[in-house]
Structure 1
Amino acid sequence: MRTVRRLETKDRPLRAGAFPPVRELAVAWALILAIAALAWVLTVDQARGTGVGPGTMGMGLPLFLLLWPAMMAAMMLPSVAPVAVTWARGIARRSSGAGRALRTAEFLAGYLIAWTGFGLLAYGGLVLTGALVDRDPDAGKWIGATAFALAGLYQLGPLKDICLRHCRSPLAQLMRYAAYRPRLRDLRVGLHHGAYCVGCCWALMVALIPLGVMNLAAMAGVAVLIFLEKLWYRGPQLARLAGAAFLVLALLAPFQHWLLPGLSSPMPPM
């Protein structure tokens, strides 16, 4: 009973002591870090060729759906690594190092599938905002204000709090996943946890519309914010502080166009 109470603690992130020694799960950690590093390399390379601007920046849906999971892997895997490693700990007794790596990869695949589903909505939003800005460049300031306001209000709302509590303390839920049938279990666990993560962080991705979906500085800032929200002991307070900051940006956006690089048409070459 004492263990169960500790696993169901809602106000603290996963404790370092809850994980096995890193040397026991070196393969899982190495896999996650390698995927995140490669994803950042691919994202930076694509951003250099795409630039920052409104809409899809010339990307069709197939290319976007190849790039979006890479972006999510770069931004999200550092914060989801403790959960993936904890899940690997649960299967370590029945798996070799290579087996843990394979099953961890399946967990991560499910996680990224959840974010890819959201990517379809993101693409639709980019197409719409790009069309509106092309039709009326002045619309960008109101789109930006709306996006910042939506992000701020969600950060301060109850659904954010529910999903963030799950992402910070998922151990009790991981224990329930052990009852899943073995077939595709790791994929389903990753998909389910990824759905909670989408619920926690989707509004931060909406804030990237005015900041620039391919704005590397904005992406890095959001990634750090997500990491701290999930793993820092003051993460919930930081989430609320970020929400207040987004509301301030919503008030400033109609008057400060420099806050909206993702909704400003690039200057034509001289």
Structure 2
Amino acid sequence: MDIVQTLSPSGTPDSTEARRHIDAERASRRVFFGISAVVFAASMAVTIVGCTSMSSMGGMPMPGGWTMSMTWMRMPGQSWAGAAASFVGMWVVMMKAMMLPSFTPILWRYRQAVMVDAVACGRERRVGGLLMIVGTGYFFIWLLYGIGIFVLGVMVAALEMRMPMLARSVPLLSAAVVVVAGLLQFTPWKARHLACCRHAPGSGRSIRADAATAWKHGVRLAMHCSACTAGLTAVLLVMGVMDLRAMTVVSFAMTVERLAPNGRRVARMVGVVLLGVGLSMGVHAR
């Protein structure tokens, strides 16, 4: 936390003014993390209700001994547009629940970085709005991914129902996805995007306090974070996108590797676990 200290005309520290700045900073921090906690709790509650409701619908038994989730199917009387809207809405809420634990500290660092320019330009009161713009840009990218995932999921589900041979190979293909996700954890590509997620917006960096810059910052951060978590997101999809247990485990892995002191080592440990799980799935799929 930055401690701002002003000097009186005589050159001695003005302790009263400094204390006022410290108290204001502490209050802002409490409000920021308090609001974030409320949003996280609300997102988690909606996610739990949605996933529980989806699980209660069961699934469709498929050749190969697995069950297809109803996520990729329309409910009776539902249009494809309605099914897509339902999935994407649930996806965005779920992403908030999964990403907020690691996104919130990054957003706070953005606030500190943008405050320098905001104070210089007399725009301190706009900082709260800029935080909302960053968050909107960030989750807008995840919304776009949700649309793409739904379209892809529906297409794959249709092929699996029409091609029994493909359906029988799904357990083995799922195992291959988990293995590839595990290998991805060891790559320089993963390390680069993980570093961007962990250290954004950069130590000691000042950011312009305007809406366009805030939007670009949120979008750019989401691009790095989605690339960093691509493997784990793929694991969630093959394990069950609306499965609470899978979501909890994947969310925990995403959060720890981005917040732990040695994130790259954690990412490699996650990779080892994924390789073990994938190989075990492959053996049982034979």
For the superposition of Structure 1 and Structure 2, which TM-score range results when normalised by the shorter chain? Answer: 0.7 to 0.9
Verify the 8 A CA contact 1:147 1:209 in the aligned structure 2: no
Name structure 1 gaps, 5 residues minimum.
1-19, 258-270
Tell me by how many angstroms 1:90 deviates.
3.0
Task: Judge conservation of contact 1:83–1:170 (CA < 8 Å) in 2.
Answer: yes
Q: What letter is aligned with 1:75?
A: M
Q: Assess if the C-alpha contact under 8 Å between 1:145 and 1:254 holds in 2.
A: yes
**1:122 maps to which residue?**
149
Amino acid at match of 2:105: P
Aligned to 1:44: 48
What is the TM-score when the length of structure 2 is the normalising length? 0.74
* 8 Å Cα contact 1:211/1:218 also seen in 2: yes
Over 3 Å counting, the alpha-carbon distance change for 1:101 and 1:37 in structure 2 is farther
Q: How does 1:100-249 map to 2 (within 5 A)?
A: 100-134=127-161, 135-136=163-164, 137-172=167-202, 175=205, 178-179=207-208, 182-249=210-277
Q: Secondary structure at the match of 1:140?
A: helix
Aligned mates of 2:237, 2:46 — CA distance in 1 = 20
TM-score scaled by structure 1?
Answer: 0.78
More divergent stretch after superposition (239-248 vs 78-87) = 239-248
The ranges of structure 1 where at least 4 consecutive aligned residues each deviate by more than 6 angstroms after the TM superposition are none
Q: Unaligned stretches of 5+ in structure 2?
A: 1-23, 60-67, 75-82
- Counterpart CA distance in 1 for 2:183 and 2:194 is 15
1:83-98 superposed matches below 5 A: 83-92=106-115, 93=119, 94-96=123-125
- Relative contact order, higher structure (CA 8 A, sep 6+): 1
Q: Distance in 2 between matches of 1:254 and 1:129?
A: 20
Instruction: String of CA shifts for 1:50-70, please: whole Å, max 9, x gaps.
Output: 117535343522211111111
Partner of 1:10: none
Report if aligned partners of 1:228, 1:235 keep a CA contact under 8 Å in 2: yes
- How high is the sequence identity, in percent, across the aligned residues? 23
Measure, in 2, the Cα distance between the counterparts of 1:174 and 1:128: 47
CA contact (8 A) 1:143 1:210 kept: no
Task: Quote the Cα distance in structure 2 between the aligned partners of 1:195 and 1:100.
Answer: 23
Counterpart position of 1:58: 73
Cα-Cα RMSD? 2.4
What count of residue pairs does the alignment treat as equivalent? 234
Once the two structures are TM-superposed, the CA of residue 22 in structure 1 deviates from its matched residue by 4.5
> 2:261 aligns to what SS in structure 1?
coil
